[in-house]
Amino acid sequence: MNNDTVKIKTNGQKINGFSSTEIGDDHLYTGLQTPMKTDAFRLSDEEKKTRIAILFEEIMDIMGLDLTDDSLKGTPERVAKMYIDEIFSGLNPANKPKVALFDNKYQYNQMLVEKNIIFYSNCEHHFVPIIGKAHVAYISSGKVIGLSKLNRIVQYYAKRPQVQERLTNQIAEELKSILDTEDIAVIIDAKHLCVSSRGIKDDTSATVTTYYGGRFDSAEKITELHNYINN
């Protein structure tokens, strides 16, 4: 799938013969940008948490849960806080990591690889977890980035409703922009709970997506990168 894939808004109707439910089950990748409303930040984070708590309480009530029980009565507020401050905090550009670049004074001109970056995301089709690890690499064009910032960039884009293909490309495009180089590689290996805990209920499969840009887009560099990752 490529970055030019058309964004689809179904509202329940058929698209190319498939319903919106079927499209979600097939994990269609609909574009590089996370689908956001133009007024997504009209409400403050605190206002969003208040609204989500009210709505989630209604969901729990409809499901028949007793919200007067000591264990449940604080759940709507906890869920709202978790959504806004934690697992979907990457939706807010204000939470984007601040990145400083440094001169490549060591003249290190080989690939730098940060591997096994553990992340938790959520499938945008069912809002259940995606659990995986990312490997990112770049070749300096004259500037370098602090190692922890590579992790923070992965986490920022993971903390939103996601599709793995989009997550892979968003990380790559961000690093290309920051480092001013095409020489970027991103590999993501993840387990989707929407596959293992529902639907097909396959608990053994994993999904791997890759991005190889610039000098990484060659058999020699791909082999070298995988040797680093697998050792």
Domain boundaries, the chain: 20-95, 101-230
- The pLDDT of residue 25 is 59
**117 DSSP β-pair partners:** 134
- The pLDDT of residue 12 is 45
The number of helix segments (H) and strand segments (E) in the chain equals: 7, 7
**185 DSSP β-pair partners:** 137, 212
- The pLDDT of residue 26 is 60
- The pLDDT of residue 121 is 98
- The pLDDT of residue 203 is 80
Residue 174 to residue 179: CA distance in whole angstroms: 9
Do the two domains 20-95 and 101-230 of this chain adopt the same fold? no
Which amino acid, 41? F
Q: Please, are residues 160 and 91 in contact by the beta-carbon 8 Å criterion?
A: yes
Fold held by 20-95: GTP Cyclohydrolase I; Chain A, domain 1 (1.10.286)
- Computed from CA positions of residues 217, 99, 96, 38, in that sequence, does the dihedral angle turn out positive or negative? negative
Using only C-alpha atoms, what is the Rg of the chain? 20
- The pLDDT of residue 27 is 56
Q: Please, are residues 155 and 141 in contact by the beta-carbon 8 Å criterion?
A: no
- The pLDDT of residue 24 is 54
Residue 21 to residue 4: CA distance in whole angstroms: 22
- Least Cα distance to 102 among 69, 63, 149, 70 occurs for 149
- Which of these is catalytic: 57, 123, 155, 162? 123
- Which of these is catalytic: 57, 124, 165, 174? 124
126 given a catalytic annotation: yes
- The pLDDT of residue 197 is 80
123 given a catalytic annotation: yes
Residue 39 to residue 29: CA distance in whole angstroms: 23
- The pLDDT of residue 28 is 61
Residue 16 to residue 28: CA distance in whole angstroms: 12
The class that CATH gives domain 101-230 is alpha beta
Low-confidence spans in the chain with pLDDT less than 50:
1-15
- Least Cα distance to 153 among 216, 99, 193, 74 occurs for 99
- The pLDDT of residue 3 is 40
- The pLDDT of residue 70 is 97
- Which of these is catalytic: 135, 162, 174, 192? 192
- Which of these is catalytic: 57, 170, 174, 194? 194
